[in-house]
Structure 1
Amino acid sequence: MTHRNKLVTTMADASLASLRDVFAKARFQHVPVIDNTNRIVGIVSVKDYFRELSPVMDSASDPTISVFLRSRKVHQVMVSPVITITEHTSVKQAAALLLQHNISCLPVIDEFKHLLGLVSWKDILRAALHKPATA
């Protein structure tokens, strides 16, 4: 798990157990999955995490759940390929992509597909509400 400027990332071969604290304590809804060159290869959401966990959650003991989470890897539940934007994408274009694909965040990448950040629907809404007044 890597933390850069509040951006938390993970690797495809990390266990789902590594995401437990992120989703429980940090209140992040999405964690980008990167390779060793910081290129985005997928994204895992809190929904993906709980969807994977739900079949064992009710009937299994805590130790069994822990073993399950350690045995499952991020690449088994991540979404790939990922719909992305660049830092030059307009707020309107980003909003249209979120609606068109029924997703809640967009990773921002550079021309080499290196991850720069994430834009969520909340960021889009915040930007729309804080538009400067025009004369």
Structure 2
Amino acid sequence: MSIAQIMTHRSKLITTMADASLASLRDVFARARFQHVPVVDHTNRLVGIVSVKDYFRELSPVMDAASDPAIGLFIRSRKVHQVMVSPVITISETTGVKQAAALLLQHNISCLPVIDEYKHLLGLVSWKDILRAALHKPAS
């Protein structure tokens, strides 16, 4: 089984740009329940990834010491590129599920962006996708 069979495809992902404010991610993490947002440039090339953990890690010092208006100002002034992970560990559509699982474990990460040879984002595969694939039983 290949990653192309189990990944969440680009058309179903929410992405952001490196110069977007952290405030723009608030609704994505709160309402859409996404755990990771790929960061792309204007040509859809992957430049980073920001997780809900990265987002809240950035906010935690402010949340402990300030009021709500200060938090709002802080997240509007901070940019995605200031908290995103880059470079990103990635895979291709032809990567095997076992190899992807090994990368997740080796690097202690929870998802892998899927890119083409030009670094264009094709999709995302998470540990949950891999677990679903492992539990899938072909029809008899």
Answer yes or no: same fold by TM over 0.5: yes
Unaligned runs of 5+ in 1: none
Tell me which residue corresponds to 1:16: 22
Q: Could you tell me how far apart the structure 1 residues matched to 2:30 and 2:101 are?
A: 27
* TM-superposed deviation, 1:133: 6.7
Matching residue's letter, 2:57? R
Q: Tell me the equivalent position of 2:75.
A: 69
Corresponding residue of 1:30: 36
Report the Cα distance in structure 2 between the residues aligned to 1:115 and 1:87, rounded to whole angstroms.
Answer: 11
How far residue 49 of structure 1 moved from its aligned partner, in angstroms, is 0.2
> Structure 1 residue 17: deviation in Å?
0.4
Q: Highest relative contact order (Cα 8 Å, sep 6+), 1 or 2?
A: 2
Pairwise CA distance, 1:107: 0.2
RMSD: 1.2
CA offset at residue 111 of structure 1? 1.2
Please identify which structure carries the higher strand content: 1
Task: With the length of structure 1 as denominator, give the TM-score of the two structures.
Answer: 0.93
What amino acid maps onto 1:127 in structure 2?
A: A
Q: Which residue type is aligned with residue 73 of structure 2?
A: V
**2:54 corresponds to:** 48
Deviation string, structure 1 residues 54-100 (Cα, Å, up to 9, x no partner): 00112211111010001100000000000000000000010000001
2:136 counterpart of 1:130: yes
Provide the residue aligned with 2:7 in structure 1: none
Aligned residues: 131
Q: 2:107 aligns with which of 83, 101, 108?
A: 101
TM-score (norm 2): 0.90
Give the aligned partner of residue 121 of structure 2. Answer: 115
| Runs of 4+, deviation exceeding 6 Å | none
Task: Report how far residue 5 of structure 1 moved.
Answer: 2.5
> Unpaired runs of 5+ in structure 2?
1-9
1:82 to 69, 80, 88: 88
The corresponding residue for 1:39 is 45
